């Protein structure tokens, strides 16, 4: 706040000052497009996507009616259909919408309980009035994948108690471990008990673009609904989140309130092109164009190459550290997504016998190293505790600009900064 004056005044500033403010805003900001920024699922800066976003801002319109966003509405329809084809629904039939944030795409008017994983599910449950106490959490294996037997036991138990389980969330690519739930086995249980199956592919959905990796989402075509955020693994500028549903007309049926001043039935065009009443919100930002333009420019194959490349890079990291001195992996086995979760154990802790003391001291290592990374401004990577596990690093790779030298740098930097922890 000492860097520049943020205060808003009665009088206008000069244009020169405005330009200084713009420069300062970038100067003091975080370079999320830098190949050594590994802090979030969304990284990188695709230039075609950026051009698309600039055009979108210039068009300055709203998705709610065809009459003011005719081209964007058509692009959205075509892109959603293409995404549903990739999910595997026959002829790409169904419904869908691009909607901001994670929680709204993970929300339905008639939905409740029984997820694991992303906290948006918990928020949706609270927001929709079901209450977080009606969410039943599932057990997962050491890799973070739902255990189907546990799901079925909990469904049966809930029914016996008189509850009506109506919604199961399977995650394709969890946020921390990058785990893919076994969708086919979950779908079997959902079909047997007549439960809505949602697949949260916000992070892992992008793997559908890769012939090599899409098997990890095998069974997704049996889901009733899917979320998929192209702004994550596919490198589309923020935000770009889609919800897809298999049943045609469902979104309109759920959310429609028919505001007369927007959705007049007597327009001169086919008013089913007016998408505004499908969404929970009224105004809706144009999130489609940048994605459509990137898809045009890269082709499906371009996305495939990007995804394959990021996954290769994470395998490189995994192989580099799994047997390296001072590193411990949080879970065993090859990574399913680009998430690599690990502890860095500084030399001072390596010989420590007291398990509890070691835990307590190890818990403080990742925050300390990250604070130093941020102060030196060299790289950024996330950390968190999970369950009974103390703070560990979570590396994720989604930036097309990242390469092996950036991974090497990260390891060197962790060791340099962690030397004296």
Query: Nearer Cβ to a copy of itself, position 120 or 187?
Result: 120
CB of 136 to a copy of itself, least distance (A): 16
Query: Nearer Cβ to a copy of itself, position 177 or 180?
Result: 177
Strand partners, 384: 392
CB of 354 to a copy of itself, least distance (A): 21
CB of 416 to a copy of itself, least distance (A): 18
Place of tokens 């779908």: 187
DSSP 352: -
Q: Are 16 and 254 spatial neighbours (Cβ–Cβ below 8 Å)?
A: no
Length of the chain: 421
CB of 167 to a copy of itself, least distance (A): 14
| 34's tokens | 């830098």
Query: Nearer Cβ to a copy of itself, position 148 or 237?
Result: 237
In the sheet with 37-38, reading across from the earlier edge strand, the strands are: 37-38, 380-386, 389-395, 340-344, 327-329
Distance (Å, whole) CA 112 – CA 176 = 23
CB of 67 to a copy of itself, least distance (A): 7
Distance (Å, whole) CA 393 – CA 149 = 30
Helix (H) or strand (E) segment spanning residue 225: strand 225-228
| 267's tokens | 């327009």
From first CA to last CA, the distance across the chain in angstroms is: 30
Query: Nearer Cβ to a copy of itself, position 33 or 184?
Result: 33
| 75's tokens | 């692009």
CB of 59 to a copy of itself, least distance (A): 5
Distance (Å, whole) CA 174 – CA 179 = 5
């Amino acid at each position: 706040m000492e860097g520049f004056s943020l205060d808003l005044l009665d009088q206008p500033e000069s244009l020169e000052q405005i330009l200084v403010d713009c420069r300062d805003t970038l100067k003091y900001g975080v370079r999320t497009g830098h190949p050594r920024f590994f802090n979030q699922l969304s990284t990188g800066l695709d230039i075609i996507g950026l051009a698309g976003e600039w055009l979108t801002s210039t068009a300055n319109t709203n998705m709610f009616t065809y009459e003011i966003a005719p081209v964007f509405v058509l692009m959205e329809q075509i892109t959603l259909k293409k995404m549903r084809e990739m999910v595997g629904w026959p002829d790409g039939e169904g419904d869908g919408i691009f909607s901001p944030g994670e929680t709204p795409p993970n929300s339905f008017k008639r939905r409740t309980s029984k997820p694991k994983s992303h906290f948006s599910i918990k928020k949706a449950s609270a927001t929709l009035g079901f209450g977080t106490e009606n969410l039943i959490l599932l057990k997962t294996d050491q890799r973070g994948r739902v255990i189907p037997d546990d799901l079925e036991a909990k469904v049966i138990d809930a029914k016996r108690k008189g509850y009506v389980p109506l919604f199961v969330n399977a995650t394709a690519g969890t946020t921390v471990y990058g785990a893919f739930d076994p969708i086919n086995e979950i779908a079997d249980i959902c079909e047997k008990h007549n439960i809505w199956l949602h697949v949260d592919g916000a992070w892992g959905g992008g793997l559908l673009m890769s012939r090599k990796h899409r098997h990890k989402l095998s069974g997704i075509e049996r889901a009733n609904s899917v979320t998929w955020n192209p702004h994550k693994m596919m490198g589309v500028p923020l935000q770009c989140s889609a919800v897809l549903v298999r049943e045609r007309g469902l979104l309109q049926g759920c959310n429609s309130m028919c505001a007369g001043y927007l959705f007049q039935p007597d327009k001169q065009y086919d008013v089913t092109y007016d998408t505004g009443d499908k969404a929970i919100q009224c105004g809706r930002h144009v999130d489609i164009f940048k994605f459509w333009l990137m898809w045009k420019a890269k082709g499906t194959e371009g996305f495939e190459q990007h995804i394959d490349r990021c996954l290769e890079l994470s395998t490189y990291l995994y192989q580099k550290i799994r047997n390296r001195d001072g590193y411990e992996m949080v879970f065993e086995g090859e990574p399913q997504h680009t998430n690599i979760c690990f502890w860095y154990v500084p030399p001072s802790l390596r010989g420590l016998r007291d398990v509890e003391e070691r835990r307590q001291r190890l818990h403080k290592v990742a925050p300390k190293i990250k604070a130093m990374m941020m102060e030196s401004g060299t790289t950024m990577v996330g950390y968190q505790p999970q369950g009974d596990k103390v703070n560990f690093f979570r590396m994720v790779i989604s930036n097309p600009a990242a390469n092996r030298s950036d991974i090497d740098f990260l390891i060197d930097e962790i060791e340099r900064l962690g030397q004296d922890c």
